[in-house]
Structure 1
């Protein structure tokens, strides 16, 4: 809904006067919004396509090009982009070319690392290259004004830090990705820690939204992964040493939560509870035994396993409890989008748990009717009750 329609509705409701409506419209006409995200996206997409075309032309004759010409052309192009960035710097607040040249320069820096490593046969891993690139472009990324540029830098930076750190704790960092659970646990904790840092340090405010996005996305992925793994009786052969970076990050994060001045006691307890349960979820053998009671969409049950001792019952209950704690925190602190997303995930996990418990009965005619009705009712209840539930969480006090 545009501003004109909103102002008309407010006028009809008696919230503003006709004079106020005219003044607001006049102000908006004199100060148009210049941040056209679609223009930035198309310009950056066009730049990326041009870069791919240049790369394809060079790759076709790569073996015939001398190394000194490769390096010379690379540094010459870096120099031209740097001159362009300096030329467009005075117009960085309103111009689109500054962001396009900035992204192009950062991409070319990453390509230059690969080129130098290829020419001089420098050994190393891809995550080391990402981490080195993030370090040398960190100051440059501070001048970015577009969200895409900052998100791009944060994404590669997090990948470089996470995998480089996990590799330090693994003497035999294999291609089988056995350390994946440790990386999935470490990522949201690191993103949350850096998010708090970006909120408190003024120079890093521009990274806060990107870090918060990666915190929520990586947390959902980590929770979904461990839920599936635990429900299937997996994750019993992982070394505790792999989780050491996550434990260190969790300890620092817990201290930050306790010292957060804007959080009430309730919010501190909710976040610490969710953090502790997530760490417990990933512990190799503290809570889960590998025993299952139900077979997903199957007909057989393991009768010798009690209801509360089955991993495929404990896992979803632990997932629901973690989501519930974070949903209450999000609602209590006014994060409406996060609250709606998490409450939706709670309802979705309930539906999956129903299919797990029902097994083959859910695939019968009556079972499908009941399942469809359950999904419709849960969706309706969530849509109708989410505002009241959010108001309830806002009213909670310590």
Structure 2
């Protein structure tokens, strides 16, 4: 805040002289020399890029063991700083701890690629990702403070799960011996990241890093909703292959079971209104998953199921006073309604009349969505 703005407030009678002086004293004590920081940052960036360029130009000439030793030393050094100075750093600047934790985890992830390059080895990607999660997820969970580390944890888990599916099946659902148990295992693994939601809900009320756990819970909830929404869209296009649909039920049931356990876990771990609504959304996502398979190749019922899911999310957001989530849900329902009109009127769209009708319908849906969002959206944004 500039001193001129504070002076203008005083001149306009918005603050008295004592408040003006306190604001000026506070701003002076907490002033940040942005120009100096920018110059220092440019200098540090130039030095860093120069070091990277020198190493890259001589990469093949540096012995592999030396490179790995330096890589490990960097990780060990950052872990040492976090171990000995984490409390002091968090007191002075929580973002410095966040940056150190994130960079340490990133160095740990790149180490496996570096190791494979030095020893000319390869393995399915899910294996180094699983090892990285086992080694570094505890660090991220114990010291993470905001959304970058929360995203690293959940994103790494989701990435590992889907890489495992790719390695096992190559996304080829051709029936094979013991296919039922395979589908059940894959369904369980792909849904497993949702279990971060009850963990985060449990730790959220008992930790000084409530923002981190809140973000992790939100990301796990978003993953559950995305899975259920994708299942509805998949069913609308007949994505569930008839030849393997019976076996696929085992995988769908496993996904649904994990989501239900996670949802009820959130309900019991966080008894507040916000916690109950978050748990209800995850439970609803778990219920929608098996229903989506029952409407395979039926565009209208699949679309209605999709909109019912998001209508439930809108209702939960309305109860919990999540203004942004409510508006998002209304927008998603409107978009799905527009897509459904194209799906059902594919023949009409080949004519000019059909295009005109669709354009009018799109404008009408958009207008209704805006009106609903403005009229019924919560007046304030409560913490999710």
Could you tell me the TM-score, scaled by structure 1's length?
Answer: 0.68
Contact 1:271 1:329 in 2 (8 A): yes
- Other-structure match for 1:299: none
Contact 1:257 1:271 in 2 (8 A): no
Could you tell me how far 1:368 is from its partner in structure 2?
2.4
Contact 1:113 1:129 in 2 (8 A): yes
- What are the equivalent positions in structure 2 for 1:23-38 lying under 5 Å apart? 25=23, 29=27
Question: How far apart are the structure 2 equivalents of 1:133 and 1:188?
Answer: 15
Find 1:222's aligned residue among 213, 223, 227.
227
Could you tell me how far 1:104 is from its partner in structure 2?
3.1
- What are the equivalent positions in structure 2 for 1:124-139 lying under 5 Å apart? 124-139=123-138
Question: How far apart are the structure 2 equivalents of 1:314 and 1:175?
Answer: 30
Q: CA 1:148 to 1:388, structure 2 compared with 1: closer, same or farther past 3 Å?
A: same
Question: How far apart are the structure 1 equivalents of 2:275 and 2:204?
Answer: 20
Q: Choose 354-363 or 121-130, whichever is displaced more.
A: 121-130
Contact 2:201 2:214 in 1 (8 A): no
- Other-structure match for 1:255: 264
Q: CA 1:266 to 1:105, structure 2 compared with 1: closer, same or farther past 3 Å?
A: closer
Question: How far apart are the structure 2 equivalents of 1:366 and 1:204?
Answer: 58
Q: Choose 21-30 or 327-336, whichever is displaced more.
A: 21-30
- Other-structure match for 1:109: 108
Q: Choose 65-74 or 335-344, whichever is displaced more.
A: 65-74
Question: How far apart are the structure 1 equivalents of 2:25 and 2:364?
Answer: 46
Find 1:186's aligned residue among 179, 186, 191.
191
- Other-structure match for 2:358: 371
Q: CA 1:385 to 1:106, structure 2 compared with 1: closer, same or farther past 3 Å?
A: same
Question: How far apart are the structure 2 equivalents of 1:26 and 1:77?
Answer: 42
1:69 aligned onto 2:66:
yes
Could you tell me how far 1:117 is from its partner in structure 2?
5.0
Contact 2:200 2:217 in 1 (8 A): yes
Contact 1:193 1:249 in 2 (8 A): no
1:344 aligned onto 2:318:
no
**What does the per-residue CA deviation read over 1:297-350, in whole Å, with 9 as the maximum and x for residues that have no partner?**
xxxxxxxxxxxxxx1111001001111011100111011111111110011111
- Other-structure match for 1:147: 147
Question: How far apart are the structure 2 equivalents of 1:28 and 1:375?
Answer: 52
Name the SS for the 1:173 alignment partner: helix
Question: How far apart are the structure 2 equivalents of 1:139 and 1:361?
Answer: 56
Question: How far apart are the structure 1 equivalents of 2:273 and 2:200?
Answer: 15
Could you tell me how far 1:100 is from its partner in structure 2?
4.3
- What are the equivalent positions in structure 2 for 1:176-325 lying under 5 Å apart? 176=171, 178=173, 182=187, 186=191, 189-202=194-207, 205-215=210-220, 217-219=222-224, 221-236=226-241, 237-238=244-245, 239-243=248-252, 245-256=254-265, 258-259=267-268, 260-263=270-273, 267=277, 271=281, 274-283=284-293, 287-288=294-295, 290=297, 311-325=298-312
Q: CA 1:215 to 1:374, structure 2 compared with 1: closer, same or farther past 3 Å?
A: farther
Q: Which 5+ residue runs of structure 2 have no aligned equivalent?
A: 174-182
Name the SS for the 2:168 alignment partner: coil
Q: CA RMSD, aligned part only?
A: 4.8
Q: Would you tell me which structure has more helix in proportion to its own residues?
A: 2
Could you tell me the TM-score, scaled by structure 2's length?
Answer: 0.70
Question: How far apart are the structure 2 equivalents of 1:264 and 1:84?
Answer: 37
Q: CA 1:177 to 1:195, structure 2 compared with 1: closer, same or farther past 3 Å?
A: farther
Q: CA 1:128 to 1:206, structure 2 compared with 1: closer, same or farther past 3 Å?
A: farther
Contact 1:192 1:211 in 2 (8 A): yes
Q: Which 5+ residue runs of structure 1 have no aligned equivalent?
A: 291-310
Question: How far apart are the structure 2 equivalents of 1:282 and 1:181?
Answer: 18
Contact 1:362 1:368 in 2 (8 A): yes
Contact 2:321 2:378 in 1 (8 A): no
Contact 1:186 1:243 in 2 (8 A): no
Question: How far apart are the structure 2 equivalents of 1:243 and 1:48?
Answer: 48
Q: CA 1:26 to 1:51, structure 2 compared with 1: closer, same or farther past 3 Å?
A: same
**What does the per-residue CA deviation read over 1:102-152, in whole Å, with 9 as the maximum and x for residues that have no partner?**
433322212223344555677753223223212322343333445324433
**What does the per-residue CA deviation read over 1:144-185, in whole Å, with 9 as the maximum and x for residues that have no partner?**
44532443343214433x348x76xx9x81223647994897
